[in-house]
Chains A and B, each alone.
Chain A
Amino acid sequence: MENETGWIRAVGLGLGVLALGVWGTLACSSTPPPTRAELLMESLTRLDDAVRAEVADPARADAVLALVDGFRDEELEFLEMVRVKKEWLTKLNRRYDADRADFEKEIRELREGRAAFRDEILEFYLGLRELVTEEEYLTLVGHLRAEEARWEELQG
Chain B
Amino acid sequence: MSQRTTKQEPRRAMTGYHQVLIILFGAMFFGGGGSVDITKRVKKTVGDDVRKERAMRIAEELDALPGNVVGDLISSHRDFYEALSSPELDPDAIRASLDVMIELLHEGDERGLELRFRLKDQLTAKEWGKVWDDDAAIGDWTP
Q: A residues engaging B (CB < 8 A)?
A: 33, 35-37, 39-40, 78-79, 82-83, 85-86, 89-90, 93-94, 96-97, 100, 103-104, 106-107, 110-111, 113-115, 117-118, 121-122, 125-126, 129, 134, 137-138, 141, 145, 148, 151-152, 154-156
Which chain B residues in 26-75 approach chain A with CB under 8 Å?
26-27, 29
Known interface pairs A79-B143, A118-B102; A148-B21 also in contact (CB < 8 Å): yes
Closest CB in chain A relative to B36 CB, distance in Å: 11
The DSSP consensus for interface residues of chain A is: helix
Q: B residues engaging A (CB < 8 A)?
A: 15-17, 19-21, 23-27, 29, 81, 84-85, 87, 89, 91, 94-95, 98-99, 102, 105-106, 109-110, 113, 116-117, 120, 125, 128-129, 132, 137-139, 141-143
Name 22 A/B residue pairs within 8 A (Cβ), A-sorted: A36-B16, A36-B23, A36-B143, A39-B20, A82-B141, A86-B27, A86-B138, A90-B138, A94-B132, A97-B125, A100-B113, A100-B117, A104-B113, A111-B102, A111-B106, A114-B26, A122-B94, A125-B84, A137-B87, A148-B20, A155-B19, A156-B15
Known interface pairs A86-B29, A89-B138, A110-B109; A40-B95 also in contact (CB < 8 Å): no
Cβ contact of A118, chosen from B16, B98, B109, cutoff 8 A = B98
